[in-house]
Amino acid sequence: MQHERILILDFGSQYTQLIARRVRELNIYSEIHPYNKIPEIDESWKAVILSGSPHSVRENNAPIPDLSGIKGKLPLLGVCYGAQHLAHEFGGEVSPSNNREYGRANLSFVDVHSELMKGVSLGSQVWMSHADTITTIPSNYKLLASTNDVEVVAYRIENESTYALQFHPEVYHSLDGSTILKNFLVDISGCAQDWTPATFVEETVDGLKYQLGNDKVVLGLSGGVDSTVTAVLLHKAIGENLHCIFVDNGLLRKGEFESVLNQYQGMGLNVKGVDSKERFYNILSGVTDPEKKRKAIGAMFVDVFEDESHKIENVKWLAQGTIYPDVIESVSATGGPSQTIKSHHNVGGLPDYMKLRIVEPLNTLFKDEVRRIGHSMDIDQKLLGRHPFPGPGLAIRILGDITKEKVRILQEVDHIFISALESSGLYDKVWQAGAIFLPIQSVGVMGDERTYENAVALRAVESTDGMTADWVHLPYEFLAKVSNDIINKVKGVNRVVYDISSKPPATIEWE
């Protein structure tokens, strides 16, 4: 049976993925599709949401969706650009704002009798991000909310289940945003709120059984949450036909290869450990550009899996633990105008010479969703609670060229930092932490001797999905002790700094 779905049409907004997350937080499944590639509308689609956009409806080449099979037939909610489009295309007027509205605003009028705004307080804070304003709406449109500066903040079309919001309900700063979305999705659209982690597992396993049949699948395990959950889902679907490979690329954390390999074997997975350290060191020799590092590591992973897959008779598929933020940051998630931030080694397909097909059961999920799904499958909390670790490993935490000595130094520094977080009870309060080897040396004094050694940076952030992140205010006493331990115990380091940048503008990793 096809699960009920919410269709989100993407016009290129930076917030489109947040709409999907807010919908899923209500236990309702959502999918994002480009505004110009609308899927066939069948009975599984319960409602449609139009996203915001960096474009203006007044542009000559403004994105215009074909809503002929949607508007007036399914519940429809326009957000920001979507609201302006529904006004502009059907008889209203949209004009440049006298003052562009970005940030917080407060509702000065709310139609509390409307289904959409039920439970929304007068004065409620909303989040604006628009350069145009809806100045007039057609006669069959009813005003539902205003602010002191903008009259048309929310409206509905009479005799249709069509609604619109000038602000962004998906952003946390819109304090009643979740209430409004629930009103639209549950009360207006009649969604059952039955998309749960257990439901995802059941449907995904059934889908994998159908997709893969009796085919053999090779999966590269990393020790992280994403590949682990991917492995367990596939194991449930195809059992021993899943062949897991855990590669030691020489860029893992200290002692990680042996400890994680033992964990996987204890879970009953069909897993093989492969020592490929020298192969990775060789292809990274002299490479300093971050993108070239990522590309080289991705290509070498493909080569390793190609070699190993030849040892497995009739393997047909390569499984990957790709999740949504990986896709979003590498390429547009929907074929829209999103800008590539950085490439991910597990995104973008395989070279023509490698004949394996790709299966990615998690590529529509955010990190927090992956953890909830893993918890529902009773995966060890120690594995689920592990901090995210980049696919290229320490290579993108060593700025500049990669050498064995730099890897050794960073592994020791990282081990001291992570161990201290664990022993101090801070590990689970941090979303991701690690150390960065900086491409500079600085003067220091040890004993009576002058030193000229390496500097390292410590990084710890809090986040829910990796799309945004704030630096963690670790106690000064903790940082002082960690810094002292690193300088005293790691030969080659005489300076430690702490990164207090948030994402955006900085990314979580330095490369």
Give 54's DSSP letter: S
Output DSSP code: residue 503. B
For this structure, is 170 an active site residue? Answer: yes
List the one residue out of 153, 173, 81, 72 whose CA is nearest residue 111: 153
Catalytic hit among 101, 170, 256, 412: 170
- Neighbouring-strand partners of residue 71: 74
Task: Specify whether 80 is catalytic.
Answer: yes
Nearest by Cα to 153 from 65, 102, 59, 79: 79
What's the 3-state SS for 102-141? EEEEEEEEECCCCCCCCCCCCCCEEEEEEEEEEEECCCCE
Return the axis-axis angle of helices 197-212 and 367-376, rounded to nearest 10°: 90
Answer yes or no: 3 catalytic.
no
DSSP E strands: which ranges in 360-413? Answer: none
Asked if 87 and 164 touch (Cβ cutoff 8 Å), the reply is yes
Closest residue by Cα to residue 300 from 320, 273, 282: 282
Catalytic residue (one of 4, 80, 360, 511): 80
Smallest CA-to-CA distance from 167 within 39, 81, 264 is with 81
HEC states along 172-228?
Answer: CCCCCHHHHHHHHHHHHCCCCCCCCHHHHHHHHHHHHHHHHCCCEEEEEECCCHHHH
Which candidate, 442, 435, 447, 388, places its Cα nearest to that of 411?
435
Closest by Cα among 94, 298, 108 to 306? 298
| Number of C-beta neighbours around residue 479 at 10 A | 17
Integer distance in angstroms from the first to the last C-alpha of the chain?
44
CA distance 273 to 248: 7
Q: Find tokens 């810094």 and name the residue.
A: 483
Whether cis (ω within 30° of 0) applies to the bond prior to 504 is yes
Tally of CA atoms within 13 A in the half-sphere of 7 that contains its CB = 24
Q: Which of 85, 130, 168, 235 is catalytic?
A: 168
Please state, in angstroms and rounded to a whole number, the distance separating the CA atoms of residues 454 and 289: 20
Provide the 3-class DSSP secondary structure of residue 155: strand
Residues marked active site are found at: 80, 168, 170
